Amino acid sequence: MEKMHVKMKVNGKDVDLLTEPRTLLIHALREELGLTGPHVGCSSSHCGACTVDMNGMSVKSCTVFAAQAEGADITTIEGLGSPDELHVLQEMFKEHHGLQCGYCTPGMITRAHRLLQENPNPTEEEVRFGIAGNLCRCTGYQNIVKAILEAAAKMNEMKESA
Amino acid sequence: MNEATPPKEERTAALSGLGTSRKRVEDARFTQGKGNYVDDLKMAGMLFGDFVRSPYAHARVKSINIEKAMALPGVHAVLTAADLEPLGLHWMPTLAGDKQMVLADGKVLFQAQEVAFVVADDRYAAADGVAAVEVEYEELPVLVDPFKAEADGAPVLREDIADQKEGAHGPRRHPNHIFTWESGDREATEAVLAEAEVVAEEMIYYHRTHPCPLEPCGCVASMDKVNGKLTVWGTFQAPHAVRTVASLISGIAEHNIRIISPDIGGGFGNKVGVYPGYICSIVASIVTGVPVKWIEDRSDNLMATAFARDYWMMGRISATKDGKITGLHCHTTADHGAFDACADPTKFPAGFMNICTGSYDIPTAYLAVDGIYTNKAPGGVAYRCSFRVTEAAYFIERMIEVLAIKLGMDAAELRAKNFIKKDQFPYQSALGWEYDSGDYHTGWDKALKAVGYDALRKEQAERVEAFKRGETRTLLGIGLSHFTEIVGAGPVKNCDILGLGMFDSCEIRIHPTGSAIARLGTISQGQGHATTFAQILASEIGIPAEDITLEEGDTDTAPYGLGTYGSRSTPVAGAATAMAGRKIRAKAQMIAAYLLEVHDNDVEWDVDRFVVKGSPERFKTMKEIAFASYNQAIPGVEPGLEAVSYYDPPNMTYPFGSYICVMEINVDTGTTEIRQFYALDDCGTRINPMIIEGQVHGGLTEALAIAMGQEIAYDEQGNVTTGTLMDFFIPTAVETPNYQTDFTVTPSPHHPIGAKGVGESPNVGGVPAFSNAVHDAFKAFGLTQSHMPHDHWRIWKTADTLGLHD
């Protein structure tokens, strides 16, 4: 199949991919750019393990073609925090035991990050609804919800003191 | 003279040992997207394999034409059974002593069965190849109902063994019959039932479901023809067993096979077995000379990879009029699908289903299980349970409720009246198990008090009256469950899988500067072994947990063990860890005594050091001892500080717990809301309370899924109707409640640190709690038994059948 150029910005860097028109965004990210944080869990938009941020919205990258991301600004888990300076959400997930096998975690944190941009002061119910597109088989969500609420509080504190 | 010693408490806290909620060391990589799962592997020249799967549940394969597929760009090979036959790999042994087709050999026996394996440049080219393979099928009559399997004229599924009267587990009475397994005293039980004052009888069905870990199964096989070594990275819950089995069936010497389990995205029993994808990837790598990756997709996983449960359990339970249980009889029809691929110890073809007397002192009991072939996917794995313990617990906890209805007795009271008493442990059950320890009444009373049981019953009665007056359309259900698990398989004398004894292992090396590495025969799939096993060790050898690296899953470096499933890691490998730690400490004691110039018996252990008895100012810390062990010539003592322990447990462990679910049910919509869920677990000594709580939350949510909507369903033609996450229920954060956790501690008397395992308890005890809540809500309107899963439609239908919509 003839390949095409797709340009996008991923985690702040400009990239130019030469890929088949049918290549899914998740495979372009994982296999062509080596960003293996987002995972494939269901291939049908249900589980959210592949969640990335695209132009300020959470998308399931297993059902978006790379070609549809032409010109887009993409953020993956690799773009949130660094080993030297973890994102508050990453810290809170560890602090509150919000993960076990880790497979849903990158998508879950990426989604939570966008949720807190959309709603910096969510109630527990709003957090639960806000992450309902991301499935976790290990934790029962209780500690994930706790981690997100705690992260929201900390992020608001940081904003105030800034 | 040494410097002043910090207080004991301070030194103990610095270890982050047993009983502390140590934060997980795994989380740094997982939260940053730096986990290393099998599909993350990328190798030079790596090809990708994918399956042509059967659209039919039962059909003869007339022909397979690979010509068009081979002509496609990027397609390198298409394997069929004919290609595997010369290698003897077109069939493979199952863990249950049966055999299973790797690729369709003349016929297919379930929908989505593997028919051909296409090897191509990448997953897209492989998908093109799969679409281009032409298979001609001739449909055969389909058998989906296990109760029709032995009827006259029933289609014969397994033509390969149709004439075999003897199977792996004894006589077979019909071509579609696999085994009959019995436990207990049939005649005595029949006699008790015949003479009983009260007998309750019910069919309890635990439906077919699926572990569905978020990461599907997969592997990368790489045959290095230069040095003759095969390496397979994969989603293996039992890497060492996979290596031995791979060696036995392929003829490749075991030292030339290296199995590596990288990070695993959840297992729940799904990743114990050996699947055709593994075999085909290995063969494809041998054929092509490059690494071959196979990763199943979600539908492959749900439709073809091992299912769980599917037990039809016909129960009879007898009691005196005042509620003392006298006997229990269970006949189970077990739908195994097309091949018997259960993951059970060899001598237990129905797993530990004979724990079905539960938490109760039942003097006489009998269990028989008939395994049956049908045109469904093979499996029968222990989905977050120890070999059919979930089925057993659901059965007895439903039968108790059914009996309570028959007796007109409160179900909580009936349980308490029949619990095995604290002073009866160790308790010999009528079906042959020795329960190691327990204290059921204490936890049960605590649980009833915590939820305000009496007030709840009062509220429920008032609700029923209000409903009858037309003031509400919502009923209240109180779901009770008291489970007893049997985990930690197991004593090698009666537990093996394919002849491999079910011990486990730990090997420890202390480095000269006093940090350490420990390797185990198990493999974490999210349980946090790297965190918790370091804690066990920290308490045993006085080295801080953060200075101990934990490694598992590489058969070239880790000691041999049977892996992680059936809640066996803590009971078996956890015990091995403590025992290996004690060997280290024994050698450290000799070194310390030498350095302190006293007799071995004149020093004693004190948190992180050996101290001269009566002279606390004279000591050697573990760190000092480690350095001396490598660098100082000590007469009669070998240099170095290492130990290995292979632990064969003397008995299983028996975790237990009291769960109560309070549920609101809307009679008109069939929707439910969990108002409260209280879970009290007793897993013996608690290693990391934070992780225990996390395991309980997760296991309860899997129980919620199973009880309230999750199933693998088939239509009459054998089509799977729940093959995607659109139809296969996994609760989101919206349906999942907050859980209230609690505990008691009854240490296991035979485990070195008294721990029992907890990962599976919440699933085992949770399913009956949710299901009993549904039944309990409708009890006042005449419901005795209905089948799971209790999805909205089924609950609505129950309400409708009871006339609540009239």
SS (H, E, C) B42-75: CCCCCEEEEEEECCCCCEEEEEEECHHHHCCCCE
Domain-ending residue, one of B587, B612, B647: B647
Segment B305-340, tens digit of pLDDT: 999 999 999 999 999 999 999 999 999 999 999 999
Catalytic residue at B604? no
Same-domain check for residues B279 and B407 = no
A65 shares contact with chain B (CB less than 8 Å): no
Q: For residue A88, give the H/E element and its range.
A: helix A88-95
Position B567 scores a pLDDT of 85
Task: Assign B249 a pLDDT band (cuts: 50, 70, 90).
Answer: confident
Same-domain check for residues B522 and B455 = no
Average pLDDT (B427-454) is 98
Alpha-carbon dihedral of residues B315, B319, B325, B330, nearest 10 degrees? -10
CB B684 within 8 A of CB B567: no
Question: Does the distance separating the beta carbons of B28 and A102 come in below 8 Å?
Answer: no
Same-domain check for residues B136 and B232 = yes
Domains of chain A with bracketed CATH: 4-79 (3.10.20.30), 88-161 (1.10.150.120)
Catalytic residue at B237? yes
Residues 74-93 of A with CB under 8 A from B: 76-78, 81-83, 86, 90, 93
Question: Does the distance separating the beta carbons of B697 and A142 come in below 8 Å?
Answer: yes
Question: Does the distance separating the beta carbons of B34 and A37 come in below 8 Å?
Answer: yes
CB A125 within 8 A of CB B290: no
Nearest to A20 among B124, B526, B739 (CB): B124
CA atoms of B167 and B147, how far apart (whole Å): 20
A142 shares contact with chain B (CB less than 8 Å): yes
Residue in B316, B494, B495, B485 with CA at minimum distance from that of residue B392: B485
CA atoms of B457 and B662, how far apart (whole Å): 11
Give A89's contacts (C-beta < 8 A, 6+ positions apart): A80, A81, A109, A112, A113, A116, A147, A148, A151
Q: For residue B630, give the H/E element and its range.
A: helix B622-631
Catalytic residue at B642? no
Which structural domain range is residue B53 located in?
A: 38-140+216-264+271-304
Same-domain check for residues B748 and B774 = yes
Closest-CA residue of B relative to A24 is: B124
Give B806's contacts (C-beta < 8 A, 6+ positions apart): none
Q: Could you tell me if residue B445 is inside a domain?
A: yes
Position B2 scores a pLDDT of 53
- Would you call the peptide bond into B141 cis, given omega within 30 degrees of 0 as the criterion? no
Position B498 scores a pLDDT of 85
Same-domain check for residues B593 and B680 = no
CA atoms of B255 and B650, how far apart (whole Å): 30
Position B502 scores a pLDDT of 92
- What tokens appear for B331 in the block? 């006949």
Contacts with A46 from chain B: Cβ below 8 Å: 724-726, 730
Going by their DSSP bridges, the two strands B59-65 and B656-666 should be labelled as: unpaired
Average pLDDT (B502-523) is 96
Question: Does the distance separating the beta carbons of A131 and B266 come in below 8 Å?
Answer: no
CB B76 within 8 A of CB B46: no
Task: Assign B600 a pLDDT band (cuts: 50, 70, 90).
Answer: very high
Give B279's contacts (C-beta < 8 A, 6+ positions apart): B84, B89, B92, B102
Q: In what order do the strands lie in the sheet with B325-337?
A: B177-184, B364-373, B325-337, B308-319, B198-209
Residue B25 has pLDDT above 90, yes or no: yes
* SS3 call for B471: coil
Same-domain check for residues B542 and B624 = yes
Residue B1 has pLDDT above 70, yes or no: no
Position B783 scores a pLDDT of 98
Residue B63 has pLDDT above 60, yes or no: yes
Nearest to B23 among A30, A41, A95 (CB): A95
CB B669 within 8 A of CB B796: yes
Nearest to A138 among B263, B690, B698 (CB): B698
* SS3 call for B275: coil
DSSP at A33:
S
Catalytic residue at B710? no
- What tokens appear for B715 in the block? 């239509």
Closest-CA residue of B relative to A109 is: B31
Same-domain check for residues B667 and B637 = no
Rounded percentage of chain A residues whose pLDDT exceeds 70: 100
Domain-ending residue, one of B647, B662, B690: B647
A39 shares contact with chain B (CB less than 8 Å): yes
| CA distance, residue B271 to nearest chain A CA (Å) | 14
pTM for the predicted model, two decimal places:
0.97
Closest-CA residue of A relative to B300 is: A42
| CA distance, residue A6 to nearest chain B CA (Å) | 18
Q: Which CA distances in Å does B269 have to A108, B232, B343, B648, B795?
A: 24, 20, 8, 22, 29
Question: Does the distance separating the beta carbons of A86 and B31 come in below 8 Å?
Answer: yes
Contacts 24+ apart (CB under 8 A), A153-156: A154/A88, A154/A92, A155/A88, A155/A116, A155/A120, A156/A120, A156/A121
Same-domain check for residues B110 and B252 = yes
Closest-CA residue of A relative to B523 is: A101
Contacts with A106 from chain B: Cβ below 8 Å: 30, 33
Tell the residue number behind the tokens 């949770």, with chain if given: B766
Position B3 scores a pLDDT of 62
Greatest Cα pair distance, chain A, in angstroms, is: 54
Task: Assign B386 a pLDDT band (cuts: 50, 70, 90).
Answer: confident
| CA distance, residue A26 to nearest chain B CA (Å) | 12
pLDDT, mean over chain A: 97
Listing DSSP states for B131-179 in one string gives HH-EEEEEE------GGGTTSTTPPP--GGGTT-SEETTEE-SSTTEEE
Segment B626-654, tens digit of pLDDT: 999 999 999 999 999 999 999 999 999 99
Average pLDDT (B456-475) is 98
Contacts with A142 from chain B: Cβ below 8 Å: 697, 736, 738-739
Contacts with B124 from chain A: Cβ below 8 Å: 1, 20, 22-23
Size of interface A-B (CB pairs under 8 A): 177
Q: Could you tell me if residue B497 is inside a domain?
A: no
Contacts with A27 from chain B: Cβ below 8 Å: 123
Q: Phi and psi (nearest 5°) for B175?
A: -55, -25
CA torsion through residues B10, B11, B12, B16, sign: positive
Domain-ending residue, one of B626, B647, B668: B647
CA torsion through residues B281, B284, B286, B288, sign: negative
| CA distance, residue A139 to nearest chain B CA (Å) | 4
A143 shares contact with chain B (CB less than 8 Å): yes
Going by their DSSP bridges, the two strands B218-224 and A13-19 should be labelled as: unpaired
A38 shares contact with chain B (CB less than 8 Å): yes
Closest-CA residue of B relative to A29 is: B40
DSSP at B4:
P
Listing DSSP states for B736-777 in one string gives ----EEEE-----SSSTT-B---TTHHHHHHHHHHHHHHHHH
Can you name the residues that pair with B643 across neighbouring β-strands? B508
Segment A22-67, tens digit of pLDDT: 999 999 999 999 999 999 999 999 999 999 999 999 999 999 999 9
Contacts with B690 from chain A: Cβ below 8 Å: 97
Q: Which CA distances in Å does B553 have to B342, B519, B563, B577?
A: 23, 9, 9, 16
Q: Could you tell me if residue B361 is inside a domain?
A: no
Average pLDDT (B90-94) is 94
Task: Assign B4 a pLDDT band (cuts: 50, 70, 90).
Answer: confident
Complex-level ipTM beyond the 0.95 threshold: yes
Same-domain check for residues B278 and B130 = yes
**Which of the following is catalytic: B385, B506, B661, B683?**
B385
Closest-CA residue of B relative to A146 is: B738
Closest-CA residue of B relative to A91 is: B31
pLDDT, mean over chain B: 96
Contacts with A86 from chain B: Cβ below 8 Å: 31-32
Q: Could you tell me if residue B770 is inside a domain?
A: yes
Q: Could you tell me if residue B62 is inside a domain?
A: yes
Q: Could you tell me if residue B556 is inside a domain?
A: yes
Same-domain check for residues B637 and B554 = yes
Tell the residue number behind the tokens 């394969």, with chain if given: B61
Residue in B344, B333, B338, B349 with CA at minimum distance from that of residue B373: B338
Q: Could you tell me if residue B522 is inside a domain?
A: yes
| CATH number, domain with residue B132 | 3.90.1170.50
**Which of the following is catalytic: B53, B172, B384, B568?**
B384
CA atoms of B161 and B361, how far apart (whole Å): 42
Rounded percentage of chain B residues whose pLDDT exceeds 70: 100
| CATH number, domain with residue B567 | 3.30.365.10
Give the best residue of A138, A139, A143, A148 to mutate against chain B (max B CB count within 10 A).
Answer: A138
Can you name the residues that pair with B313 across neighbouring β-strands? B204, B332
Q: Could you tell me if residue B313 is inside a domain?
A: no
Average pLDDT (B151-163) is 96
Neighbours of B130 (CB within 10 A): 21
Contacts 24+ apart (CB under 8 A), A7-12: A7/A70, A7/A71, A8/A69, A8/A70, A8/A71, A8/A72, A8/A73, A8/A74, A9/A72, A9/A73, A9/A74, A10/A35, A10/A74, A10/A75, A10/A76, A10/A79, A11/A35, A11/A74, A11/A75, A11/A76, A11/A78, A11/A79, A12/A79
Average pLDDT (B22-27) is 98
Question: Does the distance separating the beta carbons of A142 and B739 come in below 8 Å?
Answer: yes
Residue in B366, B455, B42 with CA at minimum distance from that of residue B185: B366
Nearest to A44 among B701, B726, B736 (CB): B726
Same-domain check for residues B621 and B508 = yes
Question: Does the distance separating the beta carbons of A97 and B694 come in below 8 Å?
Answer: yes
Question: Does the distance separating the beta carbons of A44 and B724 come in below 8 Å?
Answer: yes
Residue B787 has pLDDT above 60, yes or no: yes
Same-domain check for residues B102 and B247 = yes
Number of domains into which chain B is organized? 3
Closest-CA residue of A relative to B760 is: A138
Segment B170-215, tens digit of pLDDT: 999 999 999 999 999 999 999 999 999 999 999 999 999 999 999 9
Rounded percentage of chain B residues whose pLDDT exceeds 90: 96
CA atoms of B489 and B653, how far apart (whole Å): 9
SS (H, E, C) B316-364: EEEECCCCCEEEEEEEEEEEEECCCCCCCCCCCCCCCHHHCCCCECCCE
Question: Does the distance separating the beta carbons of A100 and B698 come in below 8 Å?
Answer: yes
